[in-house]
Amino acid sequence: TRFNVRFHLPPLRTVYETFRDSTQFFLSRVSVSIYTSSNSFFLGLFAGNTAVGYYSAAEKLYTAAQGLYSPLMQVTYPYMAKTRNRAFHRKVLRYSLILNTILCGGIILFAPTIIGILFGPQYMPSVNVLRLLAVALMVVIPSILLGYPFLAVLGQQRYANGSVIIGSIVHLIMLLAVSAFMNIYIVACLVIITETIVLAIRVYGIKKHNLW
């Protein structure tokens, strides 16, 4: 050709491995979408729209709190992908845990004030939901940091992706199991359990492959 570029078909093994790896990422993203939307869906189905409103108010704050860490994740992932500097990651994780503990403690302590100011006194049932989700946040942040910015860049994507897929499946099963007596507080507790499962799988992968 004019630019001396030739097309060739890659080996079937390469195609298979690429498809397999990308499928894991795709399934994990789908699992996250299902997991995040299933709580409100099941609450609406079994507990009513009022319960959905109370839960959604607390969940919005929970999601916003997670968003505070997005810049950290965006910086950490490319740096770790380039350097694989485990000492740096341990330092980031340590300071993040300290800050996250302070943040979650503040949310638990001031939950009535936060809900009252942002949503009004009629949303007081959301207070304890927010407190429970703050406990979940204590688990979520280390789990996120140990996922793609650590396990994935060190070649253990299956734990980063698989933990989310397994967690989502378990979460759906638990939602179905409690459907007869479902309420906003039970759903928040299930979030804590699910996020703990995800973290446990990732910690297991790290220990199994001596990555720490």
Token pair of 5 as six digits:
């570029």
Residue 12 clears pLDDT 80, i.e. is over it: no
What pLDDT digit, counting tens, does each position of 86-95 carry? 999 999 999 9
Is the residue at 43 inside a domain? yes
CA distances from 37 to 1, 13, 66, 104, 120 (A): 51, 36, 16, 23, 24
CA distances from 70 to 61, 64, 80, 126 (A): 15, 10, 15, 25
Is the residue at 195 inside a domain? yes
Token pair of 171 as six digits:
């979460």
d(CA 97, CA 54): 28
149: helix, strand or coil: helix
Is the residue at 4 inside a domain? no
**Domain hosting residue 154, numbered range:** 26-208
Is the residue at 21 inside a domain? no
Nearest to 39 by CA among 25, 53, 27: 53
Counted domains in the chain: 1
Is the residue at 12 inside a domain? no
Is the residue at 11 inside a domain? no
Cβ contact 66:143 at 8 Å: no
Is the residue at 122 inside a domain? yes
What pLDDT digit, counting tens, does each position of 83-117 carry? 999 999 999 999 999 999 999 999 999 999 999 99
State pTM to two decimals.
Answer: 0.87
